Amino acid sequence: KQEVTQIPAALSVPEGENLVLNCSFTDSAIYNLQWFRQDPGKGLTSLLLIQSSQREQTSGRLNASLDKSSGRSTLYIAASQPGDSATYLCAVPSGGSNYKLTFGKGTLLTVNP
């Protein structure tokens, strides 16, 4: 059974700092990995989808990397801003398809002005 772990559970940084969020998964036979952002009381917003054949995916100040063999992904946020404060979740499809996403429990990021 796929398990997804995110460390740390919470992170507080000063504005402008570069930071890395970690995601690990137990079954490396994944097709892709998706990073989401969740603001308090709101839904999930897809940030990046990185395919298993890719090693990196970039969108603006965000960069996601994927190392299937080690079962790890990182989300790098450059020059963090207070507006980046949110919970960040990673998710992988289970069972070889997109039938079900297995989510990590998230990292709560606070960027202090």
Partner 1 sequence: EAQVTQNPRYLITVTGKKLTVTCSQNMNHEYMSWYRQDPGLGLRQIYYSMNVEVTDKGDVPEGYKVSRKEKRNFPLILESPSPNQTSLYFCASSLEVQPTYEQYFGPGTRLTVT
Contacts with partner 1 by CB under 8 A lie at: 30-32, 34, 36, 41-46, 49, 51-52, 89, 91, 93, 96-101, 103-106
Alpha-carbon gap, residue 45 to 80, rounded angstroms: 18
Q: Return the SS3 of 6.
A: strand
Structural tokens at position 94 = 């289970």
Which one, 52 or 74, has the nearer CB to partner 1?
52
Cβ nearer to partner 1, comparing 83 with 99: 99
Q: Closest approach of Cβ 48 to partner 1, in Å?
A: 9
**What is the longest distance spanned by two Cα atoms in the chain?**
42
